[in-house]
Amino acid sequence: EVQLVQSGAEVKKPGESLKISCKGSGYSFSSYWIGWVRQMPGKGLEWMGIIYPGDSDTRYSPSFQGQVTISADKSISTAYLQWSSLKASDTAMYYCARHGVGAILTTWFDPWGQGTLVTVSS
Amino acid sequence: EIVLTQSPGTLSLSPGERATLSCRASQSVSSYLAWYQQKPGQAPRLLIYGASSRATGIPDRFSGSGSGTDFTLTISRLEPEDFAVYYCHQYDSSPRTFGQGTKVEIK
């Protein structure tokens, strides 16, 4: 079974750094793009960016470029989303999701991780 | 950036009724459009990809149609478990984008 398991909820203060993770199993992790999607409280889905773990090729939405860093460690089948200095406005649920077809950019997301809730508050 | 506009924002229907959800793109996305269902406290789940192909395990009461800029998700007969929020998603061009969602609620 293809599965993405994300790290647990985080509570941080403004200005702190954070790295959350997404571990893939049941498939060839290196061969599928993985993306990150933000969902702010009570709001819709926002595409943040994607990474191809095989060669670490990364694409960002202009809205998130420079605000976060997406990375992956194919040796442990894990993708990451990282902030160097959190803001209160980063409070949201963050989902990782795999592309539906391996190595292809123009595909949908399936499956999705369970989500990681990040709360940033002083 | 391609903007996806979903309508209506909220659809109030009874179980057994037909639901018709719309997604309009600001420019053509060919057939590179997917639909997801999200229930409270859960991650989104893929329903439809390629505008009209049902994902594995999705009941045949869900169907998708359209191409270019106008797309429709139809639920032929609403079951109690279908009351949720539905999002469309274009994967034709970067950045990928989502619609703002349509909530299907019990009337």
Would the CB atoms of A44 and B92 count as touching at under 8 Å? no
Whether the per-residue pLDDT at B23 is higher than 90: the answer is yes
**Residue B102: pLDDT band with limits 50, 70, 90:** very high
Using DSSP bridges, classify how beta strands B4-7 and B19-25 pair: parallel, antiparallel or unpaired: antiparallel
Q: Dump pLDDT digits (tens) for A5-38.
A: 999 999 999 999 999 999 999 999 999 999 999 9
Would the CB atoms of A44 and B94 count as touching at under 8 Å? no
Judge contact between A72 and A19, C-beta under 8 A: no
Nearest to B43 among A46, A100, A112 (CB): A112
d(CA A31, CA A98): 10
Give A104→chain B minimum CA distance, Å: 11
Would the CB atoms of B46 and A114 count as touching at under 8 Å? no
**Residue A105: pLDDT band with limits 50, 70, 90:** confident
Residue with tokens 């009209």: B52
d(CA A25, CA B58): 22
Which chain B residues are closer than 8 Å to A108 by Cβ? Answer: 34, 46, 49-50, 89, 91
**Residue A102: pLDDT band with limits 50, 70, 90:** confident
Which residues, 6+ apart, have CB-to-CB distance to A42 below 8 Å?
none
Number of cross-chain residue pairs from A and B with Cβ atoms under 8 Å apart: 61
Query: How far lies B26's CA from each of A60, B3, B4, B68, in Å?
Result: 21, 5, 6, 10
Q: Dump pLDDT digits (tens) for A54-86.
A: 999 999 999 999 999 999 999 999 999 999 999
d(CA A116, CA B12): 31
In B, minimum Cα distance to A62 occurs at: B95
Structure tokens belonging to residue B14? 């009874």
In B, minimum Cα distance to A107 occurs at: B91
pLDDT of residue B93: 94
Nearest to A44 among B32, B87, B96 (CB): B87
Q: Which helix (H) or strand (E) holds B71?
A: strand B70-75
Nearest to B43 among A44, A61, A114 (CB): A114
Structure tokens belonging to residue B79? 């079951």
Nearest to B98 among A45, A59, A100 (CB): A45
